[in-house]
Amino acid sequence: MAQVSLWDRVLSPSQVSAMAGCRDPGRGNLFSSDTFSLEEVGVRASQHSLPSLCQHTQHHVVFPEERTLGDARSLCRRLNASLAVPTSADDNQRLADQLPAFHDACVPTAAWKLWLGITDRAEDGVWRKFHNNEQISYSNFPPVNAASSYFCASMKLDGFWDGDRCANRRCAACHVQRSTFLYLRGLCFDTKFRMRFRTQGYIDGRPFFRGYYDKVMLWQEQHKQWAVVDAVTNATLLATQAVTDNDYPLGRHSWEAWRGLCGHPRGAVVPLSLSPCEDNEFTCSTGDCVPRDLRCDFRYDCSDGSDEEMCGVVELKDHLQKELPPPGVDGGPLTVTPSLTLSRIADVDDIAMAVTLEFRVSLVWTDSRLRMRHLRLNKNGTILTEADAQNVWQPRYSLVNLEGGTQQRLGHSLVVTSSSGAALPPYNSVDMDLVYPGAANSISLRQRYTARVTCYFELYGYPFDIQLCSIDLELPSELEDYVQLAVREGVARYTGPYELSKYTVEGVHFSKASGGRVVSLEFELHRRQGIVVFSNFLPSAMLLVVSWATLFIRQEAINVRCIMALTTLLVLYTLFANMSQSLPSTAAIKLIDIWFFFIIFVLFTNIMIHVFMDDKTSAQPPPPSVPPPESLFTKVATVTPVQAPQPIPEQRPPSVRFLRQYRTLYLPLAVLVFNIYFWVAVILSRK
């Protein structure tokens, strides 16, 4: 205590600043320990000048255990300090004055006791500090020393510095700033100030850590353990033997409760951390501090890899949490947003009326009951491990239009798609991981399947047909009053090729019946007519033309006409049979059946005309010539001119006349009328 003063007024900020800066003695007008006579009991009094109160002096803490230079630097870093480097003769002397107490602990057979935080490795004879590479302005090397022979330096028992092998083992002294604190997390301090600890002095030959109020962390030589002690009652509250004899309880360790404390019963294991890490940092088990962003990022940033431990995302409150669906907004049904992506149509089986598909299902919802940690700020979200996924309620569903009732799941993942609403945990938390509320972060169940689904083909318009197929998902009936599918917010898409070997894919959308606990992704398969037209319509039309041409062959060539007409009928029927085998057996009449039936009927009619047509013509025979009667008397001959017989017109039978009318009028007209009606029906069937 430097001074006690009392005033009868409120001091101005400038007066407080002047006293804090040692520019004003700050003597009170009611009372001042500088001017009043006081009885001194149990204390030691000394006089100091005012400027000396604000003079900067280094605060060094000696750790009396032999350790390598690297370990010594790590120890000081974990105290948010640096390896000691005196900056003045006074600082050097104060540090040297502490050494005799540790003569036997710090290499008793050697004069070199303490590592110094300097090196001249970069430039011989130019000593720089390890922690900031700053060249020293003060040194205490003797005139004759071995400093030029080594890259490292240490302090001897007499306070002089000397060169030292960097591989040796020495004690360490850390330069601790007086504004530096350590934070003890894991207990139930009611204010953050009570968490502050700092190195204070030495008990049982080792430094101890004093809290700002009533807690002390010290080494108990008798039990060979570190303990947290109540400074008022001197009662041991917690103790740990997880720290080795030559180490300190910096970092994260498990402590045993020696009495009921902060809700923990006696004998409970309580995790505590002691480190200088701030709220935005993670405390490694060793006591090192790493930025929170490096926590659980699948890379070891702590030297012991502890930053990748306990990386669970979901906190489970009770065992029913994963069995019961979470409540929706205002306690209503939970809203689940479905998204279906048809990625590939592997096969379309016309005969079995089934389609083999590869597709992805995504169901998105929020669970207000959850608290989550370690969410990643990236576009892919945070993938939950199997252990985390078991603690989260997931919507179950079934594919109701499977062909054969089986499917193969190709992938499964549970992803938290965002990282919103982050909040710091209570300041007593050991991990200090950000906490994310479940209500502000959506969970996405993503699954990828290959399945064979049924598709009831409507083949009336074949081959100009459009088939409407679907992927039908249904939630269990017991969730009907608790979970609803929000189809309007969902997405239906197709990412595969739109042109298949026999079909083109169009019209991917959710069906109008989707909603509630059912969702259906519909897609249209438009048959590509090119193959069918060239393999069925064109050949059948050519056969019709050939059969029509037989009607113009000479009537005497009855065999040629009949054989050609019969051959066209047989070829057409074979073509019709092959086409029918490529389609499912159904009693429904298709447009292509009507096409073939018409042509078959025409070809059959042509054959019947060839068979029953009479090819003989009818004509009146010429009248017989009658010789003139013989003259009974000779007379002078006279020549009577004989006229040539006139040809009698040929009489064609009715069948021939019908043939000519049939091949030039009736048949073309019938084909024309049929095509008009047929193609109108085709156009109407596609609407």
Beta strands 436-437 and 398-399: pairing type?
unpaired
Question: Which among 195, 200, 239, 242 is positioned nearest to 220, based on CA atoms?
Answer: 239
User: Can you tell me the mean pLDDT for 407-423?
Assistant: 91
Tracing tokens 């041991």 back to the chain, one arrives at 236
User: Within 10 A of 460 (CB to CB), how many other CB atoms are there?
Assistant: 17
pLDDT at residue 110, rounded to an integer: 83
Overall pTM surpassing 0.75 (yes/no) = no
- What does residue 18 show for φ and ψ, rounded to 5 degrees? -65, -40
Return the percentage of the chain with pLDDT > 90, whole number.
44
Identify the pLDDT of residue 618.
44
What confidence score (pLDDT) does residue 530 get? 76
Phi, psi of 86 (to 5 degrees): -60, 140
- The span from the CA of 335 to the CA of 308, in Å, is 34
Q: What is the mean pLDDT of residues 85-98?
A: 92
CATH 2.70.170.10 fits 333-527, yes or no: yes
Fold annotation for 530-613+653-683: Methane Monooxygenase Hydroxylase; Chain G, domain 1 (1.20.58)
In this predicted structure, what is the pLDDT of residue 592?
Answer: 81
Query: Can you tell me the distance from the alpha carbon of 566 to that of 611, in angstroms, rounded to the nearest whole number?
Result: 11
- Residue 318 vs residue 543, higher pLDDT: 543
Question: What tokens were used for 402?
Answer: 């499977």
The amino acid at residue 532 is: V
Domain over 60-175 is classified CATH 3.10.100.10 = yes
How big is the chain by its Cα radius of gyration, in Å?
52
- Cα 572 from Cα 588, distance rounded (Å): 21
Angle at 297 between CA 295 and CA 298, to 5 degrees: 120
Residue 75 sits at φ, ψ, to 5 deg, of -60, -45
**From 86-100, 211-225, 320-334, 465-479, the region with the lowest mean pLDDT:** 320-334
**What is the pLDDT at residue 451?**
93
Q: Which long-range contacts (CB under 8 A, 24 or more apart) does 604-612 make?
A: 604/569, 606/547, 606/548, 606/550, 606/551, 606/565, 607/562, 607/565, 607/566, 607/569, 609/551, 609/659, 609/662, 610/550, 610/551, 610/558, 610/561, 610/562, 610/565, 611/562, 612/655
Q: How many residues does the chain have?
A: 687
Q: Are 330 and 392 in contact (CB under 8 A)?
A: no
Q: Which of 301, 306, 290 is nearest to 254 (CA)?
A: 306
Across 40-65, average pLDDT: 81
Instruction: Give exposure, 365-378, as e/b (b: 16+ Cβ within 10 Å).
Output: bbbebbebbbbbee
pLDDT at 152 over 60: yes
Query: Could you state, in order of their start, the residue ranges of all structural domains in the chain?
Result: 1-36+46-52, 60-175, 182-276, 333-527, 530-613+653-683
- Which pLDDT band holds residue 620 (cuts at 50, 70, 90)? very low
57-63-68 Cα angle (round to 5): 115
| 256-301: pLDDT as tens digits | 999 999 999 999 999 999 999 999 999 999 999 999 889 988 899 9
Q: Which residue has the higher pLDDT, 335 or 149?
A: 335
Instruction: Say how far residue 410 (Cα) sits from the centre of its chain.
Output: 16
Highest mean pLDDT among 26-35, 360-369, 602-611: 360-369
Lowest-pLDDT choice from 328-337, 474-483, 607-616: 607-616
pLDDT per residue as tens digits for the range 380-394 = 889 998 989 988 999
Between residues 330 and 492, the one the model is more confident about? 492
The helix-helix angle for 667-685 and 591-612 (nearest 10°) equals 170
What's the burial of 481, exposed, middle or buried (CB within 10 Å: 0-12/13-18/19+)? exposed
DSSP string, 198-255: EEEEEETTEEEEEESSSEEEEEETTTTEEEEEETTT--EEEEE--S-TTS---EEEEE
Q: Is the pLDDT of residue 651 over 60?
A: no
The DSSP bridge partners found for residue 184 are: 274
Q: Given a cut of 70, is residue 621 above it in pLDDT?
A: no
Between 240 and 625, the more confident residue is: 240
Nearest CA among 261, 251, 181, 574 for reference residue 431: 251
Overall average pLDDT of the 633-638 stretch: 44
In angstroms, the CA 232 to CA 213 distance is 10
Angle, nearest 10°, between helix axes 538-549 and 591-612? Answer: 10
Distance from the Cα of residue 176 to its chain's centroid: 45
Candidates 523, 506, 425; CA nearest to 192 is: 425
Among candidates 186, 232, 176, 184, which has minimal Cα distance to 211? Answer: 184
Is the pLDDT at 683 greater than 90? The verdict is: no
| Residue 438 clears pLDDT 60, i.e. is over it | yes
Which residues, 6+ apart, have CB-to-CB distance to 663 below 8 Å?
548, 551, 552
Task: Please name which of 466, 452, 494 lies closest in space to residue 357, comparing C-alpha atoms.
Answer: 452
- Per the prediction, the chain carries an average pLDDT of 86
How high is the pLDDT of residue 629? 52
CA distances from 256 to 236, 259, 268, 326 (A): 11, 9, 6, 37
Long-range contacts of 645-652, Cβ-Cβ distance < 8 Å, separation of 24 or more: 648/619, 648/620, 648/622, 649/619, 650/617, 650/618, 650/619, 651/617, 651/618, 651/619, 652/617
Are 523 and 470 in contact by the 8 Å Cβ rule? The answer is yes
List the strands of the sheet with 371-372, edge to edge.
314-315, 371-372, 436-437
State the average pLDDT over residues 146-162: 84
What pLDDT shows up at residue 148? 62
Largest CA distance in the chain: 212
* Residue 645, pLDDT score: 56
What is the distance between the alpha carbons of residues 561 and 549, in angstroms, rounded to a whole number? 9
Q: What is the DSSP string of 643-675?
A: PPPPPPPPB--HHHHHHHHIIIIIHHHHHHHHH
* 627, pLDDT greater than 80: no
